[in-house]
Structure 1
Amino acid sequence: MLIAQISDTHYLTDGTTLANQFNTAAAFTQLIKAIAQQPMQPDLILFSGDVGERATPEEYRTVGNALRALGIPVRIVPGNHDAREVMQAELPDMTGIESNHLCLFDDGFDIAIIGLDTSKEGQPSGHLCPERLDWLEHKLARVKDRPVVIFMHHPPITTGLDAMDRMGLVEGKDQLSELVRQHGKVEAILCGHMHRSIFGRFAGVPVQVAPSASHQIAFDLREKEPYRFSHEPAQYLMHLWSERDGLISHTVSVNTDYHPL
């Protein structure tokens, strides 16, 4: 099974640029082109949040139409720039809906997919409240004998990017660790938010943070330094899963053109 993971497009309409530097709409167009040109098409696209910058209906509508045109199933969880109500209204076929959050569960693929909504509207940091953790425990129990991928926006690890780590997952981390360890078959936790390709471990499980499909944040491990944008290439991840080898992940540049020999 091949899974494309995209993240942090921060889509803006009407040609507006982000921070007067980044044309996120143009970057998204390139992303769609890059995925469409892949010689092996993904079976599934996981979108780990921050779909739009301002969370307007137009942003989600435009992104959704472009993704649907690929003809590939898409599953999305919100990031801290997203708005649940607007996202669910415009992307009902791609999001979950569980009372007050947009967690999702899909066991129709070779590997079970669980999307965690870590957003707390009005806050840049990530939160897993007791309600969401109870939901996760119930869903993990449903697939107790199957391999699982969990995807969410905020990483549960400390990456060393101080300013971004302070906006990471700040609530529910210990309980999440316990649930992941209890299940024992979580293949990976896939995240976004950091605007860099980062790999680590949490609760004995690989954590893979997707870079932004638009713009990156500069690599800087100094404490108390503000984050800065970087003009490094837009990228996304491709995850190849098999029962024999587990999850193998590749970082792919958006601006790569594929020319069959």
Structure 2
Amino acid sequence: MTQQLQPLRVVQLSDCHLFADTQGKLLGLNTQFSLEKVLELIHREQPNPDLILATGDLSQDASLESYQRLGEALSSFTAPVYWLEGNHDKPAPMLKALNCDRERMSPCVLVKFLDDALAAANGEHLMVCLHHHPVPMECAWLDTQVVGSAEQFFAVIDRHPRVRAIIWGHVHQEYDEQRNGVRLLAVPSTCVQFKPKSEDFAVDDANPGYRWLDLHPDGRIDTAVSRVEGITFEVDFSVKGY
């Protein structure tokens, strides 16, 4: 009997917006508290992931202290952890918190770099990770922040049929669609959620969460979002921007 290979279990979390001060709040929500609750959920549901991806805006104030706390919290998992830089992040304190281990933090890349990296990558199936969204979210205010070179980006993706999925953060909401056979996935924030399909900036009442993905050897992807339950998070819905 042929032994069936197990899928690679990946955990994605994003947009933690931590502060140097553990009492720091985004839109009235204590982001350290909400992160801790999401991590508790991950520990219960995914005690042994194969890989953890933190896809940007990990800090709100780009403080070394916030990155160090995040690194310490994620060190409770045995899986390797990789960080992406978001628009609120700064690379220098991120790298310092990672003990200057550049392989654990993705750089900002150009289209040519992506093309070369995909061509040189090992494996039959590839997944591309971003911070910003490469497709519109039908959310007018957010869609002014779509990847600026999205057309060029997808031209590269279309040249590499091994790409099975593209995942991102930034949008603070769940998204799951397909384009040319490639799965397109966004993850909720570990703190405040943005209201889907809103014309102007608006906060949603959904709870913080994360995404898990099972990447199968044959290229199939099973995935779902899981959110913290049983807790009411204090959010200031009157704030009109962040």
TM range (shorter): 0.7 to 0.9
Identity of aligned residues (%): 23
Aligned to 1:183: 160
2:62 aligned to 37, 55, 61, which one?
A: 55
- TM-score under structure 1 length normalisation: 0.78
| Counterpart check, 1:149 vs 2:156 | no
Aligned to 2:147: 169
Aligned to 2:206: 232
| Counterpart check, 1:17 vs 2:25 | yes
| C-alpha separation in 2, matches of 1:140 and 1:22 | 39
Post-superposition offset of 1:41: 2.0
How many residues align? The count is 223
**Unaligned 5+ runs, structure 1:** 105-116, 118-127
Equivalent residue of 1:239, what SS? strand
Equivalent residue of 2:197, what SS? coil
1:207 aligned to 184, 207, 211, which one?
A: 184
Task: Tell me, yes or no, if the aligned pair for 2:14 and 2:189 is still in contact at 8 Å.
Answer: yes
Aligned to 2:136: 158
- Aligned-CA RMSD value: 2.2
**Unaligned 5+ runs, structure 2:** 1-7, 232-242
Aligned to 1:120: none
Structure scoring higher RCO (CA < 8 A, sep ≥ 6) equals: 2
Code of the residue aligned with 2:9 in structure 1: it is L
Equivalent residues in 2 for 1:86-165 (5 A)? 86-92=93-99, 95-96=102-103, 103=106, 117=108, 132-143=110-121, 146-165=124-143
Q: Cα distance 1:94–1:149, how it changes in 2: closer, same or farther (>3 A)?
A: farther
Task: Tell me, yes or no, if the aligned pair for 1:152 and 1:192 is still in contact at 8 Å.
Answer: yes
- TM-score under structure 2 length normalisation: 0.84
Aligned to 2:224: 250
2:173 aligned to 196, 202, 209, which one?
A: 196
| C-alpha separation in 2, matches of 1:39 and 1:85 | 30
Code of the residue aligned with 2:91 in structure 1: it is R
Task: Tell me, yes or no, if the aligned pair for 2:137 and 2:197 is still in contact at 8 Å.
Answer: no
| 1:150-172 deviations in Å (ceiling 9; x for gaps) | 111011001101101101212x2
